[in-house]
Amino acid sequence: MVKIAGYVKQREPKWPYIIIVALIALLFFGGLFSVSLLREWWHGLMVRRPSPTEIKLPPAAPVVTPEAAKPVVQPASPAAASSSGITVEKITLTSAITEDNQPADDLAEVAVKETPTVYCYTRVSSKDLPEKISHVWIAPGGKTIAEIKLDVSSRPSVSWSYISLYGASAGNWEVQVRSADGNILAKKDFTTN
């Protein structure tokens, strides 16, 4: 019987070396940190700090009450109080709005059988955004039929509203463009028959 002997070299485990390198790094950086703490401690012993009674504070600032902190606002003139900063650049009554968001025509008289819907097209600018306006539709006799609230969110802002005139009474109608506080910014009349 033949015996064969062999030798296989086994790998040495690397984990003991990793632990040794980590401990050396920990001791090195820990030593640096402890040296800096010692240095601060020693510096604190050698430097004399003033006692709280020796510290001089700057003079106290005057006390400001909430009423005094508010800015003084000058009352606006009556004309400025009614102005909301909104300008109506264009107001048109039309039978339709085109695909490019423009009025199709400009109506002064409306035949209800031919044009059952009337649009109020407005182009509005405002110095402050966003703002709100409303289109107020007033029937003959002064009765408000509709008040449509619209947002002004760009400069200029294009918006429109419409009403259906089926069964509406003939006469002089009015559309008012009003600001959020109710001021009339522009108005346009039309007649129905």
The whole domain housing 188 covers 85-192
Q: What's 185's domain CATH number?
A: 2.60.40.2550
Give the pLDDT confidence score for residue 16 in this predicted structure: 84
Q: For position 102, what pLDDT does the model report?
A: 93
Dihedral angle, C-alpha 117, 91, 102, 140, nearest 10 °: 10
Residue 106 covered by a domain:
yes
Tens of pLDDT along 144-192?
999 999 988 888 889 999 999 888 888 999 999 999 999 999 999 999 9
Is 161 within a domain?
yes
The torsion angles phi and psi of 180, rounded to 5 degrees, stand at -65, -30
| Number of CB atoms found within 10 A of residue 152's CB | 22
8-state DSSP, 167:
T
187: in domain? yes
DSSP secondary structure letters along 19-31: HHHHHHHHHHHHH
Could you tell me the two tokens for 12? 């040495």
CB 126 within 8 A of CB 89: no
Taking the complete model, does pTM exceed 0.85, yes or no? no
- Asked whether residue 47 is domain-assigned, the answer is no
What's the structural domain count of the chain?
1
Q: Which residue has the tokens 């259906």?
A: 164
65, part of any domain: no
Within-domain flag for 144 = yes
Cα-only R_g, the chain: 42
pLDDT greater at residue 95 or residue 127: 95
Which one-letter DSSP state was computed for residue 42? Answer: H
Cis previous bond, 156, omega within 30: yes
Burial class of 112 by CB neighbour count within 10 A (0 to 12, 13 to 18, 19+): middle
CA–CA distance, 141 with 131 (Å, rounded to integer): 30
Q: What is the DSSP letter of 141?
A: T
pLDDT in tens, 6-64: 555 567 778 888 899 999 988 888 777 777 766 676 666 655 555 555 545 455 544 44
- When mean pLDDT is compared across 31-40, 97-106, 119-128, the lowest value belongs to 31-40
In-domain check, residue 56:
no
Helix (H, G, I), strand (E, B) or coil at 48: coil
The answer to whether residue 148 is domain-embedded is yes
Region 118-141: mean pLDDT is 91
**What confidence score (pLDDT) does residue 175 get?**
95
